[in-house]
């Protein structure tokens, strides 16, 4: 910034603004008022692009409806396109958590777009008699419809990246399921031996659960496509011309390629944040299920000598400052922590949604910030789990097979052949002596070696075939 300044005026008086700043007096006051997180709007480029998209669509709609001349429209549109392409994001210095229901974010965008449009037309920044942040960039809008619409656009942009990351994670688990198809292991319930299965089935179940979550996230995204643009302050459409809601939605659809829907009741839509609550719940579901998978990975790889040691996670980092040779499961651990954060964000979103009053929810900034963290951190966590962990997992088939053969759970597979009473006797003796089930069955003459070998084939133990 240069030391030169310009003077801008608002309801509270005059302030000096750096001459080369694209933001103005409302942004300055917001920076001073909200020193909360040290994270600015620049940390959420999806929101900034969403704001610019709304302003671009509004400029075109207002021109088509005879409210904005061609020269101003073209300048505003050009400025918005630059921002959508990534320019001027450093001109959004306001904290992500702010009072005013997003007014500061909306005005920050209005000021940056107005001043860049002025520059395009050859006028000095701050010449608001030519292009005004309020009268021209914010024409036919209120923060209460422009900001929520921008929030929804930014959220949709982020969700689409998360869906891709989850798809890659699903594919990685599916590939491991194929790789481990014939490796028999012991299934467990309540951390106790249950019945045999294959390691492929275990990893296949992870692929299925991620796939289910992708479907749920896609469904939640569809609800976010309903917008209230055209509602203005409380949903009555005051100060927006007839036909504006439809016109601006059409422009926004053409710009983004998204199937947007104008809410049937704009008064209800302006106060409602239900789609965000639902989305947050789905994000929490994803986080909980991925965290559970990571718990499994940590448990199955525990050891290597005193734990399960059924799988090996790729060694990506030495594990201890005091214990030589120790390798920790740091990738599943970091994903666990992201899940804990997402669960906490869901509590924040729930409280903020419930605290709305009458015709507006004033707490959308913290809802947006929490959603942004949940979506972006889940995306990063999923990609990290895929690239730094899942693809490099190997199995220890000798150990898993030995665990099956030594487990009393194996007797369940033999129960239909030798009978429940004999199976119980074998189980009790195995527990008492520490000997294997197969060994005892042969010793007691309950089956022949060939019969036992057939029944203990991996595909039969895992119920992959009735052979």
Catalytic residues: 320
Tell me how long the chain is: 467
Number of Cα atoms under 13 Å in the Cβ half of residue 448: 3
Q: How far apart are CA 395 and CA 407, in angstroms?
A: 19
Run of H or E including 272: none
CA-closest candidate to residue 228, choices 312, 338, 344, 141: 141
Residues with Cβ < 8 Å from 36, sequence gap 6 or more? 95, 96, 97, 98
184 within 8 A of 401, measured Cβ to Cβ = yes
Sequential DSSP letters for 372-423: HHHHHHHHHHHHHHHHHTGGG-EE-HHHHHHHHHH-TTHHHHHHHHH-HHHH
Q: Is 198 exposed, middle or buried (0-12, 13-18, 19+ CB in 10 A)?
A: buried
CA-closest candidate to residue 25, choices 143, 115, 142: 115
User: 376-379 contacts: CB < 8 A, separation 24 or more?
Assistant: 376/158, 377/338, 377/341, 377/342, 378/162, 378/165, 378/283, 378/286, 378/287, 378/290, 378/338, 378/342, 379/158, 379/161, 379/162, 379/165
């Amino acid at each position: 910034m240069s030391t030169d300044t310009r003077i801008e005026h608002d309801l509270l008086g005059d302030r000096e603004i750096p001459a080369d700043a694209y933001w103005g007096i409302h942004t300055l006051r917001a920076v001073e008022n909200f020193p909360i997180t040290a994270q600015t709007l620049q940390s959420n480029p999806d929101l900034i692009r969403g704001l610019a998209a709304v302003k671009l669509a509004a400029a075109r709609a207002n021109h088509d409806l005879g409210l904005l001349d061609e020269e101003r429209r073209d300048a505003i549109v050009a400025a918005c396109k630059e921002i959508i392409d990534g320019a001027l994001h450093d001109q959004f210095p306001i904290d992500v958590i702010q009072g005013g229901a997003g007014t500061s974010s909306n005005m920050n965008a209005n000021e940056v777009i107005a001043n860049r449009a002025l520059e395009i037309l050859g006028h000095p920044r701050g010449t608001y008699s030519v292009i005004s942040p309020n009268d021209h960039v914010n024409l036919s809008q209120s923060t209460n419809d422009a900001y929520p619409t921008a929030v929804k656009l930014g959220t949709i942009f982020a969700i689409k990246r998360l869906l891709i990351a989850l798809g890659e994670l699903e594919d990685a688990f599916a590939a491991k399921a194929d790789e481990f198809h014939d490796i028999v292991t012991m299934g467990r319930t309540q951390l106790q031996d249950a019945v045999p299965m294959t390691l492929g089935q275990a990893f296949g179940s992870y692929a299925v659960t991620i796939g289910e979550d992708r479907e749920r996230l896609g469904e939640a995204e569809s609800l976010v496509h309903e917008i209230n643009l055209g509602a203005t302050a409380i949903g009555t459409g005051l100060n927006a011309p007839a036909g504006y809601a439809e016109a601006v939605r059409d422009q926004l659809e053409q710009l983004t390629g998204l199937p947007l829907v104008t809410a049937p009741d704009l008064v209800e839509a302006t106060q409602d944040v239900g789609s965000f609550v639902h989305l947050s719940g789905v994000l929490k579901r994803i986080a909980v299920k991925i965290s559970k998978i990571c718990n499994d990975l940590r448990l199955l790889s525990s050891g290597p000598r005193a734990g399960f040691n059924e799988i090996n996670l790729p060694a990506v980092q030495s594990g201890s400052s005091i214990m030589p040779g120790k390798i920790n499961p740091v990738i599943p651990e970091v994903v666990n922590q992201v899940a804990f954060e997402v669960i906490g964000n869901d509590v924040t979103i729930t409280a903020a949604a419930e605290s709305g009053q009458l015709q507006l929810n004033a707490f959308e900034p913290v809802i947006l910030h929490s959603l942004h963290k949940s979506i972006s951190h889940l995306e990063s966590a999923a990609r990290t789990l895929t690239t730094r962990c899942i693809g490099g997992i190997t199995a220890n088939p000798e150990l898993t097979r030995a665990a099956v053969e030594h487990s009393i759970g194996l007797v369940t597979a033999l129960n239909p052949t030798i009978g429940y009473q004999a199976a119980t006797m074998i189980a009790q003796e195995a527990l008492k002596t520490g000997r294997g089930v197969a060994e005892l069955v042969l010793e007691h003459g309950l089956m022949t070696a060939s019969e036992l070998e057939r029944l203990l084939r991996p595909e039969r133990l895992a119920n992959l075939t009735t052979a």
